[in-house]
Chains A and B, each alone.
Chain A
Amino acid sequence: MEKILVGLKRVVDYNVRVRVKSDGSGVETDGVKMSINPFDEIALEEALRIKERGEASEVVVVSVGGSEAQQQLRTGLAMGADRAILVVTESELDPLTGARVLMELVDREQPGLVLLGKQAIDNDNNQTGQMLAALWGRPQATFASEVVLNGDTAKVTREVDVGLESIDIDLPAVITADLRLNEPRYVKLPDIMKAKKKPLDEIQFAEMGVESAVPVANLQFEPPQQRAKGIMVDDVAGLVSALKDKGLL
């Protein structure tokens, strides 16, 4: 296939202890380490491996967000992607609007495969990939832990609640990456230097002709309630009686 499109979302690094801003308007990101959403990094790794096997000729990384998301796209380029597209918007996107932006990019780029992370670790929505497949009218294979391409089809092993499910899908399609699909590579030093010279195009969101979905407004963020201190019980009988006391049994 000619091209694989990979979505990279800029999120708070998974090592960071997330804090709610004091005014409750969102999550603190000032001075906080930001990274590529780990599932998106796995998606990119898979795309690069497909390309290295000679089964695709170009990997394009795309992101939607503020201009600071360039940093994550540059990381993607340093990992080995060929070029990058950033759709610039300062507003928080809901999954449907994000899927519509990706659909517009699919129209423009005509990829043979779209690889996304199964979900982003910021809001954990797990919706964009599925919505994109629906908008595109193409097959989807979510929670992929193995992808084998075979000409116009792909055999995808999916991690589902009961175990592993193997499905065959026609390409083009949307595949979303689960944790065990692969282990992303280290960035190579020469590629870090080359990444700067690779093309990174910016498109303003307003120029995309994409209609925002029904607006979802985040009114207030609050940290989770501190868990109340537990009690120790001596035995099962004590546990049953404690649960009964609380009206839980």
Chain B
Amino acid sequence: MDFGLSDEQQLIVDTVRSFVEKEIYPHEQEVERSGHVPEEVGQEIAQKCKDIGFFASNMPAEHGGGGLGHLDFTLLERELGRGSMALTVFFGRPSGILAACEGEQIERYLRPAIRGDKFDALAMTEPGAGSDVRGMQCTARQDGDDWVVNGTKHFISHADIADFIIVFIATGEEETDRGKKKKISCFLVDRGTPGFEILPGYNSVSHRGYHNCILNFEDCRLPSAQILGEVHRGFEVANEWLYATRLTVATMSVGRARRAFDLALPHAATRKQFGQQIGKFQGVSFKLADMVTDIDAADWLTLSAAWRLDKGLPANREIASAKVFATEMLARVTDEAIQIFGGMGLMDDFPLERFWRDSRVERIWDGTSEIQRHIISRELLRPIGG
């Protein structure tokens, strides 16, 4: 067992850290206050990321991606997690699910996404279908070789900057032992397709500038060729690839928590009250001890889950553990960092209040904490008949 980073991994970490500090941090304040990323800023980040060969580093090398393994990519995203998501979204990481592209889809979607010519977004959630994904109302009815789609998706992250969306849609129902169950298919939908609209979503307290959108389908006609994977097998495609988003949330939470800690620690060592540094008060010093322990635990839990994926070991439970622990850790750490800063921590002159707000959504999106606990406990109980 070796807990050290290889020279290559260290270089990846150092390079991305330096990129985030130089190319992301300087724009954060403006994005946070305006709630908007100027187009040229986003394009510049994407271009610089391409120039250094880090664009689509998670995608297969045979199609022009960086071909990084799960552990290497998790280390990379940990450093990205220090920066504002509204900006780091331009540090291109196409959805891994696109590796399921076949035939013409490879040239139309996979490769343009890897080159950065097209941006993708992923749509599953609906107003009536959050954690209960199978409850989705957005449906496609077959008509000859086409599918006619009607329904609404919401909370679709960065769809505003996407050229195409990977959308999960109900394509029928089947009888099972436990009653009727929807059959789900995964479609590739181009912006501008007739009957398909991308609308502005809601204003969220978390990740300002990283927009969520509403998708409307009204008799939107999609050829069968737009189906990613097999028809009615959308969940198989999702299950094979979507674990990656939970690892992303976990590791970015670790990165952000470290940044909050990096602010809190020197503050405790320099801020004086009652004639001494506040870090000399046990009430503050023990907070720091708990925070760093918490962060390290989440870090190793996340890295070990990624390592399991690289080794081809079962990792579903471990990823769920990493996601729930890292996101709840982030909430504790950002909250305590503000406590150490006192009132100043709540002012938007410092990024702590932002980290605190941003942390809230991490326990909700990409599978709520409750869903993660459900996954973990189910994996424990099922094999013994529980």
Residues of A within 8 A of B (CB): 70-71, 74-75, 78, 185-193, 195-196
Find out whether the CB atom of A187 lies under 8 angstroms from the CB atom of B8: no
> B375: which A residues are within 8 A, CB to CB?
none
Name the one of A70, A75, A191, A196 contacting B53, with C-beta atoms under 8 angstroms: A191
For B15-37 the 0/1 string (1 means CB < 8 A from A) is: 10011000000000000000000
What residue in chain B is nearest A190 (Cβ atoms)? Answer: B53
For B52-68 the 0/1 string (1 means CB < 8 A from A) is: 11100100000000101
CA distance A78 to B18 in the complex (A): 15
With A186-B52, A187-B52 given, is the CB distance from A192 to B8 under 8 Å? Answer: yes
Where chain B touches its partner, the secondary structure class is helix
- B7 at interface (Cβ–Cβ under 8 A)? yes
With A186-B18, A186-B19, A189-B66 given, is the CB distance from A74 to B53 under 8 Å? Answer: no
> A71: which B residues are within 8 A, CB to CB?
7, 10
- B11 at interface (Cβ–Cβ under 8 A)? yes
Q: List 10 A-B contacts (CB under 8 A).
A: A74-B7, A75-B11, A186-B52, A187-B14, A188-B51, A188-B54, A189-B52, A189-B53, A189-B68, A192-B8
Where chain A touches its partner, the secondary structure class is helix
Further 18 A-B residue pairs, CB within 8 A, beyond A187-B14, A192-B15: A71-B7, A74-B7, A75-B14, A186-B18, A186-B19, A187-B11, A188-B51, A188-B54, A189-B15, A189-B52, A189-B57, A189-B66, A190-B66, A192-B11, A192-B12, A193-B8, A195-B11, A196-B8
For B273-290 the 0/1 string (1 means CB < 8 A from A) is: 000000000000000000
CA distance A70 to B51 in the complex (A): 26
CA distance A204 to B14 in the complex (A): 29
Residues of B within 8 A of A (CB): 7-8, 10-12, 14-15, 18-19, 48, 51-54, 57, 66, 68
CA distance A99 to B329 in the complex (A): 51
The smallest C-beta distance from B266 to any residue of chain A, in angstroms, reads 9
> B48: which A residues are within 8 A, CB to CB?
186
The smallest C-beta distance from B4 to any residue of chain A, in angstroms, reads 11
> B11: which A residues are within 8 A, CB to CB?
74-75, 78, 187, 192, 195
What residue in chain B is nearest A191 (Cβ atoms)? Answer: B53
Find out whether the CB atom of B7 lies under 8 angstroms from the CB atom of A186: no
What residue in chain B is nearest A70 (Cβ atoms)? Answer: B7
> A186: which B residues are within 8 A, CB to CB?
15, 18-19, 48, 52
Interface centre among A70, A185, A190, A195 (most CB of B within 10 A): A190
10 cross-chain pairs, A with B, having the tightest CB-CB distances, nearest first: A189-B53, A188-B53, A186-B52, A190-B53, A74-B7, A187-B15, A188-B52, A192-B11, A189-B54, A189-B66
The smallest C-beta distance from B16 to any residue of chain A, in angstroms, reads 9
The smallest C-beta distance from A38 to any residue of chain B, in angstroms, reads 12
> B15: which A residues are within 8 A, CB to CB?
186-187, 189, 192
> B18: which A residues are within 8 A, CB to CB?
186
The smallest C-beta distance from A41 to any residue of chain B, in angstroms, reads 11
> B54: which A residues are within 8 A, CB to CB?
188-189
With A187-B15, A189-B66 given, is the CB distance from A196 to B52 under 8 Å? Answer: no
The smallest C-beta distance from B234 to any residue of chain A, in angstroms, reads 32
CA distance A188 to B52 in the complex (A): 4
CA distance A185 to B23 in the complex (A): 13
The smallest C-beta distance from A107 to any residue of chain B, in angstroms, reads 30
CA distance A74 to B9 in the complex (A): 12
